[in-house]
């Protein structure tokens, strides 16, 4: 995928070392044509002066003037150009407030490591207040990207080359097509080669030569490309005069068969996509519900503060990021145990302080924990303000795994899905294999008997509640990556969590897993048909009716414990 800042900069450095030769030779050629009389020395000085002034022109307030300056810079073709423009694109180009010169600077936490833009000389560390960012608008950005893409076509890195080809494809000017044709033969990488062929074929579709069009349509068959589908569809449509966009009947026929072929593949992709969407929504539901499956399912506490435990987990993630702002990825990973501990300890405190007085009165735990939930919400509001807090997504969780134009999986969803399964597996192991798990099961099955066998039920209760709350905290870490971190985070998930647990069967972890995924997929299958709201309503009604059929959920608990 896209390289991070440092990697990309290093890469460009390498290129910068190689490219000067090329640039200079071109420059000198141009000079020879235009002005033979001038001496080389003055010429180079002038170019340098131009370069400096064009560079400084980047600081101008007006966006159009800035665009002009960028064009100027490209024209001059200084070896530093590409480095500077790349820095500009990723937001690393700054103005030095002290002397007005331009800097390339990279954020290193509290300070910026800066170097002179024009020469590349390092000038050490600067504070944020010392520098001012050179800003870009969308238009400048896409213009820049296009210009850079033309250069990037020649780079080593296949990912960058691929990206460059795609950028050029978005804006297929004559120049760009020419450029692509020129690199097509020398391109070794197969996927890039395919991509270039596709673009060229798409270009050929508008050719006036019938045979060229025919060949192009023919070759589109094997590509799974959105653009290809659109173009083929366009061919088959009629324009405002009632004429087909494609005049030739034979080509239309082939286009149609190509379209049918592609669309058959699309059906498969669409199904895979829906299932993936469903699973990832299900993963979120399972994560949200699994802690509740312990506190509510195993212990029978109607824990209305469950959502707030997730909220605590999410805020822990936020605090961890504040502690180590330079290591976002690491802080996220460390947040997992941290959130478990924070939420777990709060859980134990709640159990020891409140819930232990209420055993045997399950419905009253509802009231007390409702009070706890209000209390926790307001506490967070007082400490962190009612505003949402921004939790940064680390690089490895952004973007998506690209398969083709119609199928790509976003990384954060993949990670959450995997994470959900890991948490589930871990929890299952704890309950099955550890002593704590054994004791938890014993107490939940028959409290008095367990007590008689010498199990410290008090301690087990506290640990169980702590475990459930801790798992909720972990879920909060995952939620912080996909939704708002604010005082209301918990409330949004509490009803859903209860549904998942009840639908799956109280006291059964497997039930929770199956029910979460089932509800997720059901929601996503219904959503395109009924719309997001109605889909949810239908799912809820379905749960209500399902409970009538199976009053104890998908996987009812068996044995004596089920009677109470």
Partner 1 sequence: MKNILRKTGITSVLSALVFMAGINTAVSAEDTIKVGILHSLSGTMAISETTLKDTMLMLIDEQNKKGGLLGKKLEAVVVDPASNWPLFAEKARELITKDKVSTIFGCWTSVSRKSVLPVIEELNGLLFYPVQYEGEESSKNVFYTGAAPNQQAIPAIDYLMNDMGVKRWVLAGTDYVYPRTTNKILEAYLKSKGVDQKDIMINYTPFGHSDWQSIVAEIKKFGSAGKKTAVVSTINGDANIPFYKELGNQGMSAEDIPVVAFSVGEEELSGMDTKPLVGHMAAWNYFMSIDTTKNAAFIKQWHEFTKDPKRVTNDPMEAHYIGFNMWVKAVEKAGTTDSNAVQKAMIGIKFPNLTGGTAQMLPNHHISKPVFIGEIQDDGQFMTVWQTNTLVKGDAWSDFLPESKPIISDWTAPINCGNYNTITKKCSGQKF
Partner 2 sequence: MLLKFLENDKESQWVLIVLLAVTLIIPVCNLIFPEGSIFYFSAYTVSLIGKYLCFAILALSLDLVWGYCGILVLGQGAFFALGGYAMGMYLMRQIGDRGVYGDPILPDFMVFLDWKELPWYWSGFDIFPFAMLMVFVVPGTLAFIFGWLTFRSRVTGVYLSIISQALTYALLLAFFRNEMGFGGNNGLTDFKDILGFNLQSDVVRAFLLMCTGTALMSSFLVSRWVVRTRLGRVVTAIRDQESRVRFLGYRVEMFKLWVFVFSAMLAGLAGALYVPQVGIINPSEFSPLISLEIVVWVAVGGRGSLYGAIIGAIIVNYGKTVMTGLFPEVWLFTLGAAFILVTIFLPDGLVGLWKRKTQENV
Q: Rounded to the nearest 10 degrees, what angle do helices 190-204 and 158-170 cross at?
A: 10
Minimum distance from residue 286 beta carbon to partner 2 (Å): 17
Residue 487 lies near partner 1 (rule: CB under 8 A): yes
Site string for partner 1, 234-273 (x = CB under 8 A): x--------------------------------------x
Residue 49 lies near partner 1 (rule: CB under 8 A): no
Residue closer to partner 1 by CB (options 193, 483) is: 483
Residue 361 lies near partner 2 (rule: CB under 8 A): yes
Residue 358 lies near partner 2 (rule: CB under 8 A): yes
The answer to whether 237 and 245 are in contact (CB under 8 A) is yes
Residue 488 lies near partner 1 (rule: CB under 8 A): yes
> CA angle at residue 200 from 197 to 205, to 5 degrees?
125
Residue 31 lies near partner 1 (rule: CB under 8 A): no
The answer to whether 87 and 114 are in contact (CB under 8 A) is no
> CA angle at residue 497 from 431 to 359, to 5 degrees?
60
**552 contact choice in partner 2, partner 1, none (CB below 5 to 8 Å, kind-dependent):** partner 2
DSSP code, position 485: B
Query: In this structure, how many other beta carbons lie within 10 angstroms of the beta carbon of residue 433?
Result: 10
Residue closer to partner 2 by CB (options 296, 318) is: 296
Residue 541 lies near partner 1 (rule: CB under 8 A): no
Mapped onto helix, strand or coil, the DSSP state of residue 464 is helix
The residues facing 122 across adjacent strands are 115
Assigned token pair, 305: 């503060």
Residue 385 lies near partner 2 (rule: CB under 8 A): no
Using CB under 8 A as the binding rule, the residues of this chain from 267 to 296 that contact partner 2 are 296
Residues 6+ apart with CB under 8 A from 92: 5, 9, 104, 105, 106
Residue 363 lies near partner 2 (rule: CB under 8 A): yes
Number of chain residues interacting with partner 1 (CB under 8 A): 61
| HSE value, Cβ hemisphere, 13 Å, CA-based, for 522 | 18
Q: 436 phi and psi, to 5 degrees?
A: -55, -45
Using CB under 8 A as the binding rule, the residues of this chain from 462 to 491 that contact partner 2 are 491
Q: Which of 172, 552, 554, 561 binds partner 2 (CB under 8 A)?
A: 552
Residue closer to partner 1 by CB (options 396, 510) is: 396
Query: Which span sits near partner 1 by CB under 8 A: 174-182, 210-218, 224-232, 540-548?
Result: 224-232
Site string for partner 1, 439-478 (x = CB under 8 A): ----------------------------------------
CA distance 324 to 387: 21
Number of chain residues interacting with partner 2 (CB under 8 A): 45
**551 contact choice in partner 2, partner 1, none (CB below 5 to 8 Å, kind-dependent):** partner 2
The answer to whether 195 and 162 are in contact (CB under 8 A) is yes
Using CB under 8 A as the binding rule, the residues of this chain from 356 to 395 that contact partner 1 are 377-378, 381, 385-393
Q: 164 phi and psi, to 5 degrees?
A: -65, -45
CA distance 195 to 405: 11
> CA angle at residue 542 from 541 to 545, to 5 degrees?
85
Minimum distance from residue 482 beta carbon to partner 1 (Å): 6
DSSP code, position 508: -
Residue 549 lies near partner 2 (rule: CB under 8 A): yes
H-helix or E-strand spanning residue 400: strand 400-404
The answer to whether 468 and 347 are in contact (CB under 8 A) is yes
Minimum distance from residue 229 beta carbon to partner 1 (Å): 9
**358 contact choice in partner 2, partner 1, none (CB below 5 to 8 Å, kind-dependent):** partner 2
Residue 378 lies near partner 2 (rule: CB under 8 A): yes
Assigned token pair, 524: 């996503």
Q: Which of 315, 318, 465, 498 binds partner 2 (CB under 8 A)?
A: 498
Using CB under 8 A as the binding rule, the residues of this chain from 401 to 430 that contact partner 1 are 402, 405, 408, 410-413
Buried b (16+ CB within 10 A) or exposed e, 156-170: ebeebbbbbbebbbe
Q: Which of 131, 147, 284, 292 binds partner 1 (CB under 8 A)?
A: 284
> CA angle at residue 114 from 109 to 120, to 5 degrees?
150
Residue closer to partner 2 by CB (options 118, 461) is: 461
CA distance 221 to 211: 16
Residue 399 lies near partner 1 (rule: CB under 8 A): yes
CA distance 53 to 563: 84
Q: Which of 5, 20, 79, 91 binds partner 1 (CB under 8 A)?
A: 91
Whose structure tokens read 């949004």? 492
Residues 6+ apart with CB under 8 A from 188: none
Binding residues for partner 1, rule: CB under 8 A, are 63, 91, 133, 135, 137-139, 141-142, 145, 170, 226-227, 230-231, 234, 273-274, 277, 280-281, 284, 377-378, 381, 385-393, 398-400, 402, 405, 408, 410-413, 482-488, 491-492, 523-524, 527-528, 531-533, 536
Binding residues for partner 2, rule: CB under 8 A, are 296, 300, 302, 304, 354, 357-358, 361-364, 366-368, 370-375, 377-379, 382, 491, 495, 498-499, 502, 506, 533-534, 536-537, 540-541, 543-545, 547-549, 551-553
């Amino acid at each position: 995928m896209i390289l991070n800042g440092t990697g990309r900069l290093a890469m460009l450095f390498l290129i910068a070392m190689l490219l000067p030769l090329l640039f200079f030779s071109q420059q000198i050629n141009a000079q020879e044509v235009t002005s033979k009389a001038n001496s080389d020395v003055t010429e180079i000085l002038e170019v340098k002066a131009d370069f400096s002034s064009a560079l400084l022109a980047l600081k101008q307030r007006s966006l159009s003037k800035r665009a002009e300056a960028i064009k100027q810079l490209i024209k001059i073709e200084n070896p530093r150009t590409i480095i500077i423009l790349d820095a500009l694109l990723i937001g690393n180009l700054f103005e030095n407030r002290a002397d007005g010169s331009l800097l390339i600077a990279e954020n290193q936490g509290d300070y910026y490591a800066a170097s002179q833009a024009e020469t590349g000389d390092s000038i050490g560390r600067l504070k944020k207040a010392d520098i001012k960012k050179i800003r870009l608008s969308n238009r400048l950005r896409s213009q820049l990207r296009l210009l850079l893409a033309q250069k990037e076509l020649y780079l080593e890195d296949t990912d960058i080359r691929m990206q460059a080809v795609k950028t050029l494809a978005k804006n297929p000017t004559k120049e760009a097509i020419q450029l692509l044709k020129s690199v097509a033969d020398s391109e070794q990488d197969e996927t890039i080669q395919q991509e270039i062929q596709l673009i060229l074929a798409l270009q050929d579709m508008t050719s006036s030569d019938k045979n060229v069009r025919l060949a192009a349509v023919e070759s589109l068959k094997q590509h799974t490309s959105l653009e290809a589908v659109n173009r083929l569809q366009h061919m088959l449509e009629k324009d405002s005069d009632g004429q087909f966009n494609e005049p030739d009947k034979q080509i239309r026929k082939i286009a149609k068969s190509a379209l049918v072929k592609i669309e058959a593949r699309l059906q498969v992709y669409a199904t895979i996509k829906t299932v993936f969407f469903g699973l990832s929504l299900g993963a979120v539901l399972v994560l949200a519900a699994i802690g509740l499956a312990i506190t509510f399912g195993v212990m029978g506490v109607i824990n209305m503060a469950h959502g707030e435990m997730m909220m605590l987990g999410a805020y822990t993630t936020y605090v961890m990021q504040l502690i180590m702002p330079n290591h976002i990825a690491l802080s996220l990973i460390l947040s997992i145990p941290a959130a478990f501990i924070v939420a777990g300890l709060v859980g134990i405190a709640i159990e020891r302080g409140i819930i232990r007085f209420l055993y045997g009165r399950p419905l009253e735990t509802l009231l007390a924990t409702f009070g706890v939930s209000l209390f926790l919400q307001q506490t967070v509001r007082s400490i962190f303000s009612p505003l949402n807090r921004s939790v940064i997504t680390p690089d490895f969780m952004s973007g998506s795994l690209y398969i083709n134009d119609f199928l790509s999986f976003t990384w954060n969803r993949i990670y959450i899905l995997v994470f959900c399964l890991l948490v589930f597996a871990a929890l299952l192991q704890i309950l099955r294999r550890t002593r704590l798990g054994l004791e938890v099961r014993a107490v939940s099955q028959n409290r008095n008997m367990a007590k008689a066998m010498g199990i410290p039920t008090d301690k087990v209760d506290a640990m169980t509640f702590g475990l459930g709350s801790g798992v909720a905290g972990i879920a909060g870490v995952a939620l912080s990556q996909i939704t708002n971190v604010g005082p209301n985070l918990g409330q949004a998930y509490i009803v859903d969590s209860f549904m998942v647990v009840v639908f799956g069967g109280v006291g059964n972890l497997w039930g929770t897993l199956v029910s979460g995924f089932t509800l997720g997929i059901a929601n996503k299958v219904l959503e395109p048909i009924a719309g997001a709201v109605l889909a949810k309503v239908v799912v809820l009604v379905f749960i209500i009716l399902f409970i009538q059929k199976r009053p104890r959920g998908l996987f009812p608990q068996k044995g004596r414990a089920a009677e109470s």
